[in-house]
Amino acid sequence: MGEDKPKPKNEELIIEAKNFFESYKKELGESLKKADNVIYLDFMKLTEFSNKLADEILSNPEETLSLIEVAVEESGLVKNARIRLKNLPKVQEMKIRNIRSKHLNELIVIEGIIRQASDVLPQVVNAKFECPSCGTIISVLQIEKKFREPSRCSCGRRGGFKLISKEMVDTQRLVIEESPESLVGGEQPKRIDTFVKEDLVEPRMEEKTTPGARVKIIGVLKEVPVPLSTGGLSTRFALAIEVNNIIPLEETFEELDISDEDERQILELSEDPEVFEKFARSITPSVWGYEEIKKSLVLQLFSGVQKIYADGQKSRGDIHILLVGDPGVAKSVTLNFMANISPKGRYVVGKSTSGAGLTATVVRDEYLRGWSLEAGAMVLSNKGLVCIDELEKMDPGDRSAMHEAMEQQTVTISKANVQATLRSETSVLAAANPKFGRFDPYQSIAQQIDLPPTLINRFDVIFTLRDLPDKDKDRRIASHVLSEHRKQGEDMLIPRDLFRKYIAYAKQRIKPELSEDAVAEIKKFYVDLRNKPVSSDSAVRPIPISARQLQALIRMSEASAKVRLNKKVTKEDAQRAIGIIKYYLTQVGYDYESKTFDIDKITLGRTASQRNKVFIVRDLITELEDKMGKLIPVEEIEKEIGDKLTKTELDDAITELVKNSIIFKPRRGYVQKM
């Protein structure tokens, strides 16, 4: 192209492009500030300005883009610029499965999930050779996969040329798979190779193109020759996309762009005294009631502050919430809503989720012939939110993979020859059903949560959702649900876009610190609750809350300050957090016998007073063994215990001891110690 005089058409296009750049200097300046030598072209603005240029880009993308790059250089803006397109018309968007040979060399837009990403490697684009006979310099563009040398020189020499220099660019190969939403029926998602180079593989970009991320890709469809084993080329070609621009579709709250206009709206909203209530009402507007739960979900989105102590220890800022409830109380609706509103939100369902799918797994990599890591949901939603539905239906072995990810916020893997620690700074919102599908009103709630104590203890707040008939409440729910169906649902009180940007603003700029008042308030609540006078005269005192709940209180108070965009955690914030924790303890952890809260009731399913009775019976059996020998009649135990315990309580205690293999029943009416 260099030797011919530019065709009149090309000259026209260059002039058009120059005029376009003249009229949009401000936008171009901004885009150049963000990245060196890269100009982001808004296609819609280009269409408004010049139809001719826009049509040429779509029908003959490569040539036209290089002409535009020439125009940029000639207008003296910047040398060696790269044009990256954005905001293409909907018509160009295409499903991977619908790509055909007629689309070759056209500009197309696809959307999907990155399945694999190769390493970034250098590739030769142009090589210069010198002819040893006459000293002529010949440059050869490297287009195919095979490295090409010049076939002959003007002096007649063939072969034996000396390589002087070569131009390299960084390239990377991404495999894109269709996103599950676009599939119909039982279709398998299709994949396509894409090749990314130059500024699109910069480290900051590479962070956004990790496997599992959602992206939109704008590029030119190319054919790739397939070599046969015999050494020739196949008549069939593979398809690949030469990428012009990658647009990440999932951004964490830290990466969202906030303009001055957004900031004005955000600050205006933060002045509203009812801002917290408005946020709570914006969460799942289709579900009626549950004010306390919605408030804590707002706090979960804002999350506390992660701290790194002087000795290198980290304490997490993310808040974990567990909802346990009867069927049909809109748990899944809430989880789905939260996964959609939070960036990098992931929604997974218990039965079909494995531990590897949640954390990370090591897979054989067919391309690099080695082992590679594939991240699971909790790692992919780092700095996001993971919603796990039907937690109790997960395999216990798989569930234990969550423990480390929830508290230490890392996922450590040692498999094959891969030893790695991945970050999973993720908030977890989980939902579970009670043991028998529905709550039994006569049993303690804790006994009906079919989850291991260690896992339950990692949740900051646990809510139980009971579905109890109540005429007034039922009437309200019915009218709410019916009006939702008629009006196709109401909108969020705070518009979705502002909602997300507000949280992003708070997370980026606000790191609240505890004020003296807040410290005093939380301390008072914690100390008073743990040292409440106990009515029963037992030796084992109930433990109302543990230090973990104290941490939860601090996190929730910090989140509450973030909602108001305040850098100090005030007494009111602390009271709000205490209110939520009290609400959850009253629901789950109240022991009516000793009339206090008891954390063991939540995590172990047995209260301290029950444990105490078991100890009484155990000690009595040990005493009787000294008097009567190994075999001890149950009647004798009843006689000794007198009116300390009722018959039922004694039976329960014996059952508990048998269950824990402390005693066994050699024959009817007798017990014996193991």
3-state secondary structure 407-451: HCCEEEEEECCEEEEEECCCEEEEEECCCCCCCCCCCCHHHHCCC
State the pLDDT at residue 504: 82
Task: List the beta bridge partners of residue 347.
Answer: 387
CA 529 to chain centre: 35
pLDDT tens figures, 114-173:
877 777 778 887 888 888 777 778 777 776 667 777 777 877 777 778 888 888 888 888
Average the pLDDT over 510-524 and give the result: 88
Which 8-state DSSP code applies to residue 567?
Answer: S
For residue 540, what pLDDT band results from cuts at 50, 70 and 90? very low
For residue 46, what pLDDT band results from cuts at 50, 70 and 90? confident
pLDDT tens figures, 492-501:
778 878 888 8
State the pLDDT at residue 331: 81
Q: At how many degrees (to 10) do helices 61-74 and 8-23 cross?
A: 60
Three-state SS at 538: coil
Find tokens 């408004």 and name the residue.
Answer: 48
Domains of the chain and any CATH numbers: 8-87 (3.30.1640.10), 92-249 (2.40.50.140), 252-286+293-310+499-604 (no CATH), 320-468 (3.40.50.300), 608-673 (1.10.10.10)
* Residue 287 backbone phi and psi in degrees, to 5: -105, 130
Task: List the beta bridge partners of residue 241.
Answer: 194, 221
Identity of residue 558: E
Average the pLDDT over 477-494 and give the result: 77
Find tokens 């398809």 and name the residue.
Answer: 239
State the pLDDT at residue 366: 58
The span from the CA of 659 to the CA of 362, in Å, is 39
State the pLDDT at residue 528: 80
The span from the CA of 314 to the CA of 408, in Å, is 8
State the pLDDT at residue 356: 74
The span from the CA of 297 to the CA of 559, in Å, is 11
* pTM as predicted: 0.70
